[in-house]
Amino acid sequence: RNVVKYVPIEKMLIETDSPYLSPDPFRGKSNEPANVKIVAENVALIKDISFDEVANITTRNFKNFFFNEKN
């Protein structure tokens, strides 16, 4: 969480540690990719931006990184 404060959102990718280390409140259960929403919600809280901004920016970052898309 401390890293999220200092890394610019434009440089950030988000993920889950599936199938391990489920986020709260799912600790002790198997993690799944759908829990990335919880990660995005936490990033939004820490960065004081909307969930939609986190989703849009990190999706764009993903496309730029893996597919070299610049839009």
| Per-residue pLDDT at 26 | 77
Residue 20, token pair as written in the block? 């391990």
pLDDT digits (tens, 9 = 90+) for 3-62: 999 999 999 999 987 777 777 777 788 888 888 999 999 999 999 999 999 999 999 999
- Is 30:17 a contact under the CB 8 Å cutoff? no
How many CA atoms does the CB half-sphere of 68 hold within 13 Å?
Answer: 0
Q: Look up the pTM and report it.
A: 0.83
